[in-house]
Structure 1
Amino acid sequence: MTHSPLPPLPLPALPRLIATDLDGTLLGAGGAVSTRNAVALRRAAGAGATVVLVTGRSQPRLRDVYSQLGARYLAICANGGVVYDPVEERVLACRPIAPDDVHQVRLRLRERVSEVVFAAHVECGGRVLYEPGWPGYREGGDGRSPAGPPDLAGGPVVKLQARAPGHEPEPFTALVAETVGDLVEVTRQGYRGLLEMSRRGVTKGSALATVADELGISAEDVLAFGDMPNDVPMMRWAGRSVAVANAHPEVRAAAEEVTLANVQDGVGVYLERLLDGRTRPGAATA
């Protein structure tokens, strides 16, 4: 008596929401969006998935990205501080740091690291003010690098950045978290000695959870891609998380899977295999 072969196990369904970081994850060499990544995202959106860009960038810095993507996806900017609708070109949510907390952060850090300089993203990320000493600062501002008064006044601060020349990233991150972690969220999106701070409780993960909830999508139906420590909260929250091969060790540890590097179109390769059903997503690992 012969038996029919068992049917193959079903592949995981396409997630209802795909969240991807930009720099170091979706963007490749020179900060460009590859055709392969752009097409894969459009295919996923066409198949019914909601695509959300989740980035430390402010919304003005997304114009070139949208142009290369050929689509205008909802964006979570400033590490969760802003939710931006590019179709209507308006901010849907803005979560600034309390002015007193901004003042205390700068006061405390300057007591610990006298050479630290700050930049403040104000007007819900629409404008950035820099202190003297910040790279590119010009007295009076020039549009590209607008100067800021000593108190960085200019409206509610949605993201505060700190630089300290000569300080290695990891020790500097630990020092800042120890000094002001009770006031703000401390993270970083690059390997440079640049730290970013947002309102306490505001992260990429918390913002993504809110957006998903408003769309009626649970964490189990969310797939997230990332590469740097500021991506860890959303990687831990999402039901499925994938790090690119060039990711920071913290991100690789938090992710369930690892795909190819950003310069190898890791996001696009993973999505292609998921969409085409050629193999399980895990086979796109590096």
Structure 2
Amino acid sequence: METILSIRNLHKRYGRVHAVNDLSLEIHKGNVYGILGPNGSGKSTTLGIVLNVVNRTSGEYSWFGGNLPTHEALKKVGAIIERPNFYPYMSAQQNLELVCKIKGIGYHKVQEKLELVGLWDRKDHKFRTYSLGMKQRLAIASALLNDPEILILDEPTNGLDPQGIHQIRDIIKLIAAQGTTILLASHLLDEVEKVCSHVLVLQYGKMLYSGTVAGMAQQTTAWELGASDLDALQTSLKDYPDLSSMKIENGRLWIQGSSPIDGAALNRYLAERSIYLDHLSERKNSLEQEFLKITASK
């Protein structure tokens, strides 16, 4: 799988504050990555370093396999890491045409990108008349003018109302469906769960988890069991392999394993001991539950 961005042992210190602490990760082509963490976790600092606007203390990073100098590689990157900054007295189309002129991009891209973010019908309206959500969509259009291989977004829905959040999420999904790799920093679990395929969890500048969103949510699996005699059921499971916890709650027996539990094997084990279940259901942790567990343990 093609590597878009590789980070190795990255550190950033601000005096006594260790904002990025020995961070290593790889971003592969075609995926949507969410960098998840509370404020102060090092998300924005990391993005600033790889975009060459923040100086690193130590460590290395490389774009596109290290085959291009950073300033050339960044021409293939689209990014929004600050609030949209356009001329308020100019229209959306005029602002994007100015960006095209600065970057040496043909004006024909303007209509294509405005249509993508749903602003073509407002192309002649001045930027100052735009809502916050529209300004953010225009910023995304601007970042896409050069058809980047990767789009980097730092808290893209911050401050938006529910409708604006929904619109940005739909646009991110559409961009991803067209094959653009996306790196999205957020402190909102719901945002990451709905739009990302992979998640990186940071806390105090350290990486706590790196993997798929589905894989993170499935790290802990509980099983809900029902039988006519719960005490006998509980007794029968005391010697079950790799069982880490067991409790009776609301007329059900809840169990968790230190490794994944196979439901069919569990059912056979109990039947061999003359315990017959009338209920067997798997319960996976939500992304929020798993995130809280990971961050609380560090």
Fold match, TM over 0.5?
A: no
Question: Larger C-alpha radius of gyration, 1 or 2?
Answer: 2
Higher percent of residues as strand: 2
TM-score, length of structure 1 as denominator length: 0.31
TM-score, length of structure 2 as denominator length: 0.30
